[in-house]
Every structure is written in C-alpha cells, then in structure tokens.
Amino acid sequence: MGRLVTTIQDTARRIGLAWTPAHTSVAIVVIALAVGFLPFVKMGLVVNGVFLGAIIALGAVGLTLVYGILNFANIAHGDYMTMGAYTTLFIVGYLLPKVGVEGSGLGPFTFGYPLLIALPVAVAAISAGAVVVDMMVYRRLRDRGVNTVVVSMASLGVAIALRGLVQIIWGGDIERYPRETRQVFHLPMDVRVPPDAIFITTVAIILVVALYLVLDRTKMGKAMRATADNPDLALVSGIDTGSVVRWTWVMGAALAATAGILLAVYQAHLLPIMGWKFLIPLFAAVVLGGIGNPYGALVGAFVIGVTSEVSTQWINPSYKPAVAFAIMIGMLLVRPRGIFGGGRS
C-alpha cells in the first residue's frame, strides 16, 4: 500500500501535478465514496459519463493549453470544435462523394471510412485556421500589450463570427454525417455501449498519449511548459515564444477540432451552436484541473462528464450543463486553483 502511494505520487509529480499526501487521502476518500455510491447509481450512466468525459477532455486540454500559455480565456474554443465538425461534414458530405468516395457503416461503426480520411484533413485545416486568426487578431493585441480581458473579448467576436460563418455556409438546421444504424453492445448491469463510443474513447486516448509525449519528450513541449510557467523568463532564456504560440494554437485547435468531430459522431448530429453549448463543461473541466494544467483538465473532464451524466438519475437531464456549472462554482469557492493547486487564480 505504501509503495503504491509513493508510485502514484512519483508519477503525478513527473507529469507536473503537485500531488501531495493530502491528495492521496482525499483521493482514497473520494474513491471509497464513489464505490459506496455505486450500487445506487445506474452503471449505464457512469459509462456514458466516461464517453462524454473523453470528448470534454480533448476540448478542455486544448483550452487549458491556450489558457496557460497565451494567458486568456479563449471564448472561441467551442466554435473551433464546431468548425472542425462542419469541415468534416463538408469533406465527407460534399468533397469526397465528388470523387466517388462514399460510405457509411464501417464494421460496427455508424460512420464510413471517408470519415477517417476527413478527420486528419479537417483537423489540419482548423489548426491552420487558428494560426491565421492568431496572426490577424490576437498577435496584434499582444503586441499592443492590452489587458488579457480585451483579448478574451476579441475571442468572443471571433466566436460569433465563426458561428455566423457556419450558419451562412450550412444553414441553421440539423446536419448528419452519412451514417447507418448499428446495434449497441449490451453488457451486464444494463450498460449499453454504442460502438462509436469505443472509437471515440480510442481516439481520445491516442491523442492524450501523443500530447503527453510532445509535452514531456520534445523540446517544443518543454518550451511550451516553460512559457506557461513564466513567459518572461522563457523569453530571456532564449525560447522562441513566437513559435511556442504557433504550436500552442496548432495543438489546441487540433484537439478542439477532433473533439468537435467526435461530439458530432457521438450525438449523431451537428448544429451550429454545438460548440458554444459545450463551453460550460469545457471551462468547468479547465477550472477543476487548474488553469494551464493539461493533466488536471483531463481529470476534470472525467469528473464533469461522469457527474453530469449520473446527475440525470435524479434531476431533469436538461439541467446537465447547469450541473457542470454548479461543480465549477463549488470548486471556485473551495479551491480556486483547481484540484492540484497548480493553476493560477
């Protein structure tokens, strides 16, 4: 037991979480409570919460990276998700069919292999778009040295413009990727797992591992963490903050776009407002994990995902975003720096 605790602490410290013995005891209490509660909770909801958490995680990790390194709350992050989802729709619904690439119902999944082609293309497009928006808007504001709230304000403008753009091109109605209905897997304890959810979780795990490798093993990752920690010190240490900013946008937007596409697959529809509505769970996860802490955001995402799903057992499901919001407010009251205390308040 003692060894286990030390291993947990070492691992946590390695990936940059300020894990203390207090965290271990709190974690044990929380896990014990959760296990004690389990018999009263519908397992299906918990599993759904994990899937939702995986999507929130991708969005929140990107959001917290931008937040930590560029030091502003990017209100447009949800709309980067929307853009990712709709760009994919454009590719699988319009571009690929033109060259005769069509299909749905790949293996157990509802979508076809064109989606697997479209996903990386759309993600690259959104990343490039984010870098362009940064050059057009945010860099000018940074150079002018304005208050970070003004930068946030500008990102609100970007968010509105992006949503307008999506509506101009695709209209405001519900859209879908080409899909075929598929059987859900029935597991014991009334757990239903749609095959798509397995795909979503797999993609999320791959991306989080990739992110860990980039942040932990590459020079750029180290430079990013250094910039998040102390921008001025990073600059005088000879770190090219310009390229750090560019890579932050590339990674943040790529994660957001992927989250958007996975969300569109998971909920089986696209709406121009989908990303904006996702902002509250995203920010809740970021605040829970401590601003600028990607691993914290990961933990926060699953907490938010599972809690808001499980809450539907007792309260009206349409209050789900309000539950995420309530958890965030509670966290701000108790520990404004996040679970691991590493974030800035």
Partner 1 sequence: MDLAGIADYLVAFAIMGGIYGVFTLGLNVHWGFTGLFNIGIAGFFALGAYTSALLTTSPPDPALFEDFKFGGNWASIGFLDWGLDVWFVLGLASAALCCGVIALVIGYITLRLRDDYLAISTLGIAETVRFFFLNEKWLANGSKGLYRIPKFLGDWIAPENYGYLYVVVVFAVLAIIYLALQRAVNSPWGRVLRAIREDEVTAQASGKDVFRFKLQAFILGAMIMGIGGALYAHHVRFLSPLTFDPMLATFIIWAMLMVGGSANNKGAVLGALVVWGIWVATQSLPGILSDPSFRLFMVGVLIVAVILLRPGGILGEERRVTRLADSDAARPNNPGG
Point out which residues bind partner 1 (CB under 8 A): 72-73, 75, 137, 140-141, 147-150, 152-154, 156-165, 167-168, 171-172, 276-277, 279-280, 283, 287, 291, 316, 318-319, 321-322, 325, 328-329, 332-333, 336, 344-345
Beta carbons within 8 Å of 55's beta carbon, 6+ residues apart: 200, 204, 259, 262, 263, 266, 305
- Residue 104 CB, shortest distance to partner 1, in Å, is 28
Count the alpha carbons within 13 Å of 27 in the hemisphere toward its beta carbon: 13
Instruction: Tokens for 221, please give them.
Output: 């990752």
Residue 68 vs 114, nearer CB to partner 1: 68
- Residue 51 CB, shortest distance to partner 1, in Å, is 22
Q: What is the CA radius of gyration of the chain?
A: 20
Residue 204 vs 280, nearer CB to partner 1: 280
Residue 153 vs 184, nearer CB to partner 1: 153
- Residue 150 CB, shortest distance to partner 1, in Å, is 6
SS3 letters for 196-264? HHHHHHHHHHHHHHHHHHHHHHCHHHHHHHHHHHCHHHHHHCCCCHHHHHHHHHHHHHHHHHHHHHHHH
Residue 104 vs 311, nearer CB to partner 1: 311
| Alpha-helical segments (H) within the chain | 2-14, 21-37, 43-70, 77-90, 96-98, 113-133, 139-144, 148-170, 195-217, 219-229, 231-236, 241-267, 274-289, 294-311, 320-334
Count the alpha carbons within 13 Å of 317 in the hemisphere toward its beta carbon: 4
CA distance 75 to 152: 7
Residue 120 vs 164, nearer CB to partner 1: 164
- Residue 321 CB, shortest distance to partner 1, in Å, is 6
- Residue 195 CB, shortest distance to partner 1, in Å, is 31
- Residue 163 CB, shortest distance to partner 1, in Å, is 6
- Residue 167 CB, shortest distance to partner 1, in Å, is 3
